[in-house]
Amino acid sequence: MSRDVALSGTLVLLGAGKMGGAMLQGWLDRGVPPGRVVVLDPSPPGDIARTIARHGIRHNPALDGLERVEVLVLAIKPQNFDEVLPGLAALVSHRPLVVSIAAGRTIAGIERHFGEQPAVIRAMPNVPAAIGRGITAVVANANVTAEQLALAQGLLEAVGEVVTVDDEDLMDAITAVSGSGPAYVFHLAECLADAGVAAGLPEELATRLARATVSGAGELMRSSGRPAADLREMVTSPKGTTYEALAVLMAEDGLKPLLTKAVAAAARRSRELAR
Ligand SMILES: NC(=O)c1ccc[n+]([C@@H]2O[C@H](COP(=O)([O-])OP(=O)(O)OC[C@H]3O[C@@H](n4cnc5c(N)ncnc54)[C@H](OP(=O)(O)O)[C@@H]3O)[C@@H](O)[C@H]2O)c1
């Protein structure tokens, strides 16, 4: 069950690219009044620029004239933080809740830019947010009130599910599982198509079968709410074709150790990039 977005001040979105744009659309769809939103982005992509214009959303206004800034969402690339955040100094006195979705930017690294004891939430969304079907993990610092956390959860639920964790150290593993995870699934579809070609199918047919299979299986898992293992058992008859394939995939040197290695590599890289 998703929360309402109970906004009483101004919501500033810094960076209206793929992720920021998806959130903006989600907020508007959920009835956030466009008059409460300010977008800061020198050149948002065309579709998002049109959304901003159509709703009369304030775009790149002077920061010192803004009425109470309640939330500031940081959705620029992590590598732009050090160059861009000092330019937001005019917002510090509003003591906004700062919500960052930037990969690898730690709470301590964000706090430095926002004065005394700022309320900071670090969030890790993933790319299905673009269709409102992402999952975002959030961790808050000690200055975030229960109301602020609920507000951030409501804002992030506009693009999918939200889970809250208490330990920021988990963010590296979360990044490795759900942040990077959609790419693993896309690669699974590629491998399944290639395997189909190796088994004698024309490439176009194999690609179509693999794509529909991966997306259909994902949709079934979501809509049924059943554990993945139950669904797997449901389609595996003893000694049948699926059984034979799973004997390969579930062998000691099968998919699990490979994925464990891949997730560990991503988590390690996330730790290296963190600042
Ligand atoms: N996409 C994902 O799957 C994903 C997943 C998890 C987390 N994230 C995080 O989400 C954040 C945004 O990623 P994204 O994929 O949405 O990137 P993006 O599409 O490049 O969006 C970033 C936006 O910020 C704009 N920008 C650049 N400099 C700016 C400035 N000085 N002031 C205001 N806006 C500025 C960019 O404009 P230009 O294009 O003109 O530079 C662009 O429109 C990143 O920190 C990333 O780590 C993304």
Which residues on adjacent β-strands are paired with residue 72? 12, 98
**Which residue intervals of the chain are DSSP H helices?**
18-29, 46-54, 81-84, 89-92, 107-111, 146-157, 170-174, 181-198, 203-224, 228-234, 241-249, 255-273
Mean pLDDT of 55-67: 95
Cβ-contact 69, 12 below 8 angstroms: yes
Q: What is the pLDDT of residue 4?
A: 74
Q: Which two tokens stand for residue 222?
A: 């979501």
Q: What is the pLDDT of residue 274?
A: 82
- Residue 160's SS3 state is strand
Do strands 58-59 and 160-164 pair parallel, antiparallel, or not at all (unpaired)?
unpaired
Q: What is the pLDDT of residue 3?
A: 74
What amino acid is encoded at 82 in this protein?
D
137 C-beta closer than 6 A to ligand 1: no
Mean pLDDT of 4-18: 93
20 C-beta closer than 6 A to ligand 1: yes
Cβ-contact 72, 10 below 8 angstroms: no
Percentage above 70 pLDDT, the chain: 99
**Which residue intervals of 30-126 are DSSP H helices?**
46-54, 81-84, 89-92, 107-111
Q: Which atom of ligand 1 is nearest to the CA of 125?
A: 6
CB atoms within 10 A of CB 99: 27
**Above 70 in pLDDT, residue 1?**
no
Tell me the CA–centroid distance for residue 206 and ligand 1, in Å.
Answer: 34
Tell me the CA–centroid distance for residue 76 and ligand 1, in Å.
Answer: 4
Tell me the CA–centroid distance for residue 125 and ligand 1, in Å.
Answer: 13
Cβ-contact 196, 209 below 8 angstroms: yes
Q: Encode pLDDT of 226-246 as tens digits.
A: 999 999 999 999 999 999 999
Tell me the CA–centroid distance for residue 98 and ligand 1, in Å.
Answer: 16
Rounded CA separation 221/79 (Å): 36
**Above 70 in pLDDT, residue 108?**
yes
Q: Encode pLDDT of 170-191 as tens digits.
A: 999 999 999 999 999 999 999 9
Q: What is the pLDDT of residue 6?
A: 82
179 C-beta closer than 6 A to ligand 1: yes
Residue located via tokens 């803004």: 66
Whose CA is closest to atom 48 on ligand 1? 19
Q: Which two tokens stand for residue 250?
A: 């579930």
**Above 90 in pLDDT, residue 273?**
no
What's this model's pTM, rounded to 2 decimal places?
A: 0.94
Q: Encode pLDDT of 125-138 as tens digits.
A: 999 999 999 999 99
Percentage above 90 pLDDT, the chain: 95
Q: What angle do CA 109, 103, 113 make, to 5 degrees?
A: 25
Rounded CA separation 95/159 (Å): 25
For the chain, count helices (H), then strands (E).
12, 8
Tell me the CA–centroid distance for residue 13 and ligand 1, in Å.
Answer: 11
φ, ψ of residue 243 to 5 degrees: the values are: -55, -45
Q: Is 84 exposed, middle or buried (0-12, 13-18, 19+ CB in 10 A)?
A: middle
Q: What angle do CA 255, 261, 266 make, to 5 degrees?
A: 125
40 C-beta closer than 6 A to ligand 1: yes
44 C-beta closer than 6 A to ligand 1: yes
Q: How far is Cα of residue 249 from the mean position of the Cα atoms in its chain?
A: 29
**Above 80 in pLDDT, residue 111?**
yes
